[in-house]
Chains A and B, each alone.
Chain A
Amino acid sequence: MIAGCLRLLENVGNWLLYWAGASYGVVHLIGTCLAWIIGGPLFGRPIRLSTISLHIFELGLKSLPVTILFAFSFGLVTALQVTVFQQSIDYLPPILRLVGNFVARDQAPAFVGILLAARAGGAITSEISTMVFDREVLALRSMGIDPLRFIVAPALLAMAVATPILSLVMTAVQIVTLALYLFFAKGIAPIFVIDLAVEGISGTDLMLNAIKSVIFGLVVLGISARSGLTVVESGRSTGSATTFAVVASIVVVLLINALMSILGPE
């Protein structure tokens, strides 16, 4: 009995230590990349700006169709919910304000984070782990070039630019879908619906939308890049490292979203 409890305690301790180490690794990676982005030019070692547009295209623009599809689908579901609960026209304004607020403040950034974890996160882990196996990362290190500066920092900057845009697109598409559904199903003027939904979104909500989406983008990229870079020492294959990165990113995005919603300004 005591031996069993001790083993359980040991396993929990090992698990906590592993996650503490991994979390530190991700935070360290993001911090180092930010230091390269900001401090690199001051020391004559800027990040490769030429690759940022490519990363924005790969990580952001290529995620746009699926983001719009996701937003359209959830906009439709939200519209159906609104029509089910809306008994009289008097209840519509507060419901629409609430929906607008919820979408902009919480739902859109979290969904963008989850989408990027699945779409871009997996791709980043797979690409970086392939570079590790092909010794490209070792080649950079042998030339005295920090792989974080050369490979990860440009992608991180691109992610920080792309995520707030994707989050705003998701918010807008959801509200427009809601308005169009209410127009075709109930004959309510779209401009009226959009006006009320936008009324529920304050400047603080928009700021939170942007801050959250940037943080989620950084976290997804940090976890994915670290997972790819440590693929050899963690003993994982590219496939399992990619799965791990996607699952861990989604869990962390959801946790941070909940935490920021609880602690964030009202």
Chain B
Amino acid sequence: MAILEVENLSVAFGNHYALKEISFVVSAKEIFTVFGSSGCGKSLLFSAIAGLLTPTSGTVRLFGHDLHALSGRQWTQVRRRIGTALYGGALLKSLTVLENIKLPLMEIGGKSDEEAEERAYWLLTRLRLRNLAKLTPKSLSRGEVQRIGLARALALRPEILFCDDVFAGLDWRTREDLVELLEELRQSIGLTVVLFTPLPELCFRVADRLAILDAGKLIALGSPAEIEALKDPVIEDVFLSHVEAMRQFGRTLDKTDTLGKTDGGATP
């Protein structure tokens, strides 16, 4: 069942098209990744799909609703079913970790302070972050901030989670932790995940299907195996060459690990 349908989505600034006629469908319980290098329009696509930007043309249908034709009240209803995790966690620095997670619960979810606190503590415990509840984001590591950002996005038990480059700048272990968490959530609560990332190896690691963006255009769509089988020189240049480079880098790391020369595992 399609949960998200993007049809001929374009975003233009004057005469320049930053996104041109993007179309794809995301099914329920799917992990769908949108891959593209910096400046290809990933964040714009994320903003348009998450309802933060009105596209120049085209439609985004989420749970069957045209996202950009909803009234304020309808949008609030739909928003309760969406989780948004942003690059760098984007926690509010004036609030504690606990207050950050309580915020969507009280503001959108209409929960009381006690209910929100109970749910926030449950989430923090589940993500093994309970000991950080009273701290402010300034005193946390990047990985912790990113995980708390994810916890905040999951606070309202969303049906679909949009993640904008949430793995950027994280070490290998933290990245693996997050990937496992997403897969676990998909298994346990049937969460649909749309992941925007410039990391090609991650697409192969987690995606059921992926879309490749280049200069604002969708150049490939399919499962990782289907994309690898395309043998298209453009896709080879934009995507597969990076994947191969990462695999080789991984093999080098494995060797150095075996020889005990490094503490191992860190990818750039």
Question: Could you tell me which A residues sit within 8 Å of B by CB distance?
Answer: 45, 51, 131, 134-136, 138-145
Contacts and interface: CB of A to CB of B under 8 A. Distances in A.
B245 interface: no
A39 B161 CA distance: 32
Say whether chain B's binding surface is mostly helix, strand, loop, or mixed: loop
Interface residues of B, number: 19
Contact of B92 (A45, A136, A141, A144): A136
Contacts of A136: 90-93
Contacts of B76: 144
A51 B92 CA distance: 14
Nearest to A139: B90
Interface in B45-74: 50, 52
A138 B90 contact: yes
Contact of A134 (B84, B88, B103, B104): B88
A131 B95 CA distance: 13
B164 to A, nearest CB: 9
A134 B107 contact: no
Contacts of B149: 139
Given A134-B90, A136-B92, A142 B84 contact: yes
Say whether chain A's binding surface is mostly helix, strand, loop, or mixed: helix
B76 to A, nearest CB: 6
A144 B93 contact: no
B86 interface: yes
Contacts of B140: none
A145 B149 CA distance: 16
Contacts of A144: 75-76, 79, 107-108
Given A134-B88, A135-B87, A135-B90, A142 B50 contact: yes
A141 B84 CA distance: 10
Contacts of B93: 131, 134, 136
A145 B107 contact: yes
10 contacts: A51-B94, A131-B93, A134-B88, A135-B86, A138-B52, A138-B86, A139-B90, A141-B52, A143-B108, A145-B103
Nearest to A140: B92
A62 B92 CA distance: 23
A140 B93 CA distance: 12
B73 to A, nearest CB: 11
A142 B108 contact: no
